[in-house]
Amino acid sequence: MICEFNLQSISKCRSLLMGYAILGVLVGHIFAFGDVETTNGVKLLNWFGGLVHTSGFLFLSGFGVCYSLHKNGNIVGFYRRRFYRFLLPFLIMAMPFFIIVCYVNGYGIIQYFAYISTAEFWINGNYHGMWYIAISLFLYVVTPPICKISAYITTKTIVRDLILLGISILVCYCIKCYFPTYYDNLSIGLTPLPMFYVGFLLGDLSRKSIGLSKKAMFGICFVTALLYFVDTQVYGITFIMHCMFGILLACFIFKLLMEYNAKIVLSLFNWLGKYTLELYILHIYYWFIIKGVCHYGYIFNIVVAVMLSLLTCVPVHKVFENIERRFK
C-alpha cells in the first residue's frame, strides 16, 4: 500500500505523479510570471505545487531509468528509446521556438545551434525556462555508461546508487564553492540534479522489493519540517528532503483518492501525466510569443499560454506518436 510506503507503488502511480508534477510547474509559473497577490491561500497552493515541481520530473526520470536499464541492459536500445520519446519531440517543438527567439533578439546561426543543442544552458544558464531538458539529456547520456563501468567495481547496485548520489551532490557543491558565479547561473538546474539519483536509488530499492519503514518515513517528514521551520539550508539535503516529502505526500493522497474511487480526479492527473513533455515546452513557447504581442499583463499572458498548451498538447503528442511509428 502506498500509505505504508511500498516503493513499487511509485512505479504504479508514475503517471499520476507526473501529472502532479506538471500541474505544480504550471501553477508555479502562473505565480512566478503572473504577479499574483500573495495571500495565505496562494502561498499554500504554491507551496503544495512546489513540493514536487520540476524536481519531481528528475526523481521520476531516475526511477524509470533504473527500471529501464535493469530490464534491458542494451545501452544502444536505451538511447534509441530516449531519442524517440524525449529528444525528437523536444527538437520538433524547440526548433521553431528558437528560430523565433533568435529572430526577435537578432541572434545568428551559432546562437541558434547553442539553443538547439542545449549548450546555451551549460554556458550561460539562459534557456528560457527549459533547463529541465538540458539536465535530463545530460543525465540520460552519462548514466548508462557509468552504471556499466561501475559493474566492474561493485556488484552491489545499492552501493553503486549511493555512490552516484553522493558524487552528484559533491560535484554540484564543489561547483558552488569554487565557481560561484557559474553555479548561480545554472543553479536552477544544478540544485535539483541529485534528485535524479535519489529516484534511481529508490527505483533500485523498489525493484528489489525493499520498502521504506514507517520510521524512515517519519524521519523524512520530521527533518523536512525541521529544515522548513528553522529556515536553514543544508546543501543538497534540504532540497532532497523537501521533494521526497512531496512525493510521499502525493502518494498518500493518491492512495486515498483510489480508496474513495475518485475517478474524475485520478483521470485528470493521469491525463496530465501522459502529456507532461508537451505541456512543459508548449506553455513556455506560447508564453514567450504572447508576451511579445499582448499587453494585458503577465497574469493574462501566462494563463492564456497554459490554456493553449492544454488545448494543443494532445494533437502534438499524436504527431510524435505517428513519427515514432513510421521510423520504427
CA 233/CA 256 separation, integer angstroms: 32
Other Cβ atoms closer than 10 A to 56? 26
CA 9/CA 14 separation, integer angstroms: 8
Q: Where are the domains of the chain?
A: 2-327
What is the band of 2 on the pLDDT scale with cuts at 50, 70, 90?
Answer: very low
Compute the average pLDDT of residues 191-212. Answer: 86
Q: Are 129 and 189 in contact (CB under 8 A)?
A: no
Which residues, including other chains, have CB under 8 Å from residue 43's CB and lie 6 or more apart?
A: none
Per cent of the chain over pLDDT 90 is 41
**Of 4-13, 89-98, 233-242, minimum mean pLDDT range:** 233-242
What is the band of 3 on the pLDDT scale with cuts at 50, 70, 90?
Answer: very low
Condensed to tens digits (0 to 9), the pLDDT of residues 266-277 reads 999 999 999 999
Angle between helices 157-178 and 131-150 (to 10 degrees): 130
Q: What three-state secondary structure class fits 191?
A: coil
Instruction: Round to the nearest angstrom and report the end-to-end CA distance of the chain.
Output: 38
Best CA proximity match to 244, nearest among 199, 191, 205, 214 = 199
Q: Cα dist. 231→60, 178, 223, 320 in Å?
A: 27, 25, 12, 44
**Of 46-60, 220-234, 248-262, minimum mean pLDDT range:** 220-234
What is the band of 42 on the pLDDT scale with cuts at 50, 70, 90?
Answer: low
Q: Are 196 and 62 in contact (CB under 8 A)?
A: yes
Bigger pLDDT: 186 vs 235: 186
Question: What is residue 241's predicted lDDT score, i.e. its pLDDT?
Answer: 75
Answer yes or no: pTM beyond 0.85. Answer: yes
Q: Are 275 and 261 in contact (CB under 8 A)?
A: no
Q: Classify the C-alpha dihedral 61-67-71-73 as positive or negative.
A: positive
Best CA proximity match to 134, nearest among 173, 203, 192, 66 = 192
- To which residue does cell 505523479 refer? 17
CA 209/CA 219 separation, integer angstroms: 21
Helix locations, 117-213, DSSP H: 119-124, 131-150, 157-178, 180-190, 194-207
Which residues, including other chains, have CB under 8 Å from residue 65's CB and lie 6 or more apart?
A: 139, 140, 143, 196, 199, 200, 203
CA 248/CA 240 separation, integer angstroms: 12
Question: What is residue 222's predicted lDDT score, i.e. its pLDDT?
Answer: 67
What is the band of 73 on the pLDDT scale with cuts at 50, 70, 90?
Answer: confident
Question: What is residue 298's predicted lDDT score, i.e. its pLDDT?
Answer: 77
DSSP string, 35-103: T----HHHHHHHHHHHTTHHHHHHHHHHHHHHHHHHH---HHHHHHHHIIIIIHHHHHHHHHHHHHHHH
Tell me what the pLDDT averaged over the chain comes to: 84
